[in-house]
Structure 1
């Protein structure tokens, strides 16, 4: 049975080093509101956002009758000198989840998004010239495979890669390349509907193409009008977020009915995580979380 979760990023708790960090909502309120709006699970959020003591983490999650199902781990994989640091970060997170009793959770591996100015500036309008060379791709994939293998060997925890705008794996072609170069037994795909659409692709086609590699799913919608407004003003990735490029589910361009039908038809019975990325201090996260959960109910989930 498909189970529905949410994540701290929907409350503005992002992994980026932003000036607005001081406006982040505390994890206790986020977990309370995830529970109150009808979700069954959460992702960990940025390291240190939730308790890093496994007993305390377990206590906070279980007292709300939630599950922990994944943790986002950004690594600058195109830079071989960053691989060891990235491996240590992934192992630290995996160790925490394992000790807290969440051995079924995923490492949600990603590029160190928004760390390369050209990619951040041109999110949603990437051209091939802005991409990695073949040699860089080999380095990138090698790092992903190494991290996934180490985490699996040490803790039995699986790794999925999260394609993401403002990173080096954004467009459908870039996702194709990474999937070709990584070990299908080690690295799955976290298909994020909103990021895939913002990156220029059709999430329904991606679901058909990569169904066997898709181990984890993020429900995020995409507003092409907001993207176009940002593009007209030469806005970057964060400008697009500020304009609401990731809108409430059902109000954007993603065909979630077709997505749900495909998930059901292919026997997907794991977690779907709702993510409506906002910047700290934006909007009313609890109201959006409730609206998103109500929308998903109309799809039979």
Structure 2
């Protein structure tokens, strides 16, 4: 049975180092509103956003009748000098979830998105010359494999890779290369519908291509008109978010009915995490979360 969750990023609690961080909504309100809008699970959010003591984390999640299903871990995998730090962060995060009793949760590994100026400036319009060198690809794949293996060997927790705009793994071609260079027994794919579309692809094609590799799913919609407007204004990734490029589900270009039908056909029975990225202090998160949950109900979930 597919279960529907939301995540702190939908309330503006993003993993990026932003000036607007002071406007973040507290985790208690976020968990309350995730519950109140009809979701049954959450992701952890940035390290330190929710309690980092296992018993306190479990208490906060349990008292709202929710499940914790994953935690985002950004690592600059193209730089081998950052791998050790990435392993430390992943293990720290996995240990928290494990000790809190969430042994089936995922490490959601990603690039350290938004930190490479060229990729951040050109999100949604990446050209091949902006990509990794052959040597960087080797470092990247090896780093991802190593983190996934160490986390699995230590805590039995699996790792999925989250492709992401404003990082080095954004386009369908880049995702293909990473999947080919990494161990399918160790590293799954977190398919994010909105990021895949913003990166220039059709999420249904990825869903069919990587059916056996997709262990985790993010439902995010994408508005191509807003992406085009941001592009015309020479806007970067954060400009596109501010303009609402990740819109309410059903208002953008992603065909979620087709996706849900296919997920049912292939017997997917894990979590779908709804995300509508906003910047801190922007929009009406609870109203959007409710609208997104209501929309998913029209798809039979």
Q: Report TM bin, short chain.
A: over 0.9
Partner of 1:280: 280
Partner of 1:45: 45
Please provide the CA RMSD for this pair: 0.3
Partner of 1:294: 294
Partner deviation per Cα, 1:143-166 (whole Å, 9 max, x = no partner) = 000000000000000000000000
Partner of 2:12: 12
**1:133 to partner: Cα distance:** 1.0
* 1:110-189 aligned within 5 A: 110-189=110-189
1:57 aligns with 2:87: no
Partner of 1:29: 29
SS at match of 1:226: helix
Partner of 2:212: 212
Separation (CA, whole Å) in 2 of partners of 1:138 and 1:196: 23
* 1:188-227 aligned within 5 A: 188-227=188-227
Partner of 2:241: 241
So what's the TM-score if we normalise by structure 1? Answer: 1.00
SS at match of 1:251: coil
Partner of 2:105: 105
**1:190 to partner: Cα distance:** 0.1
Moved over 6 A (4+): none
So what's the TM-score if we normalise by structure 2? Answer: 1.00
**1:170 to partner: Cα distance:** 0.1
Q: Which consecutive residues of structure 2, in runs of 5 or more, have no partner in the other structure?
A: none
Q: Which consecutive residues of structure 1, in runs of 5 or more, have no partner in the other structure?
A: none
**1:135 to partner: Cα distance:** 1.2
Separation (CA, whole Å) in 1 of partners of 2:196 and 2:266: 20
SS at match of 1:34: helix
Separation (CA, whole Å) in 1 of partners of 2:258 and 2:207: 10
**1:134 to partner: Cα distance:** 1.3
Partner of 1:75: 75
SS at match of 2:279: coil
Partner of 1:259: 259
Separation (CA, whole Å) in 1 of partners of 2:250 and 2:163: 22
Separation (CA, whole Å) in 1 of partners of 2:215 and 2:266: 12
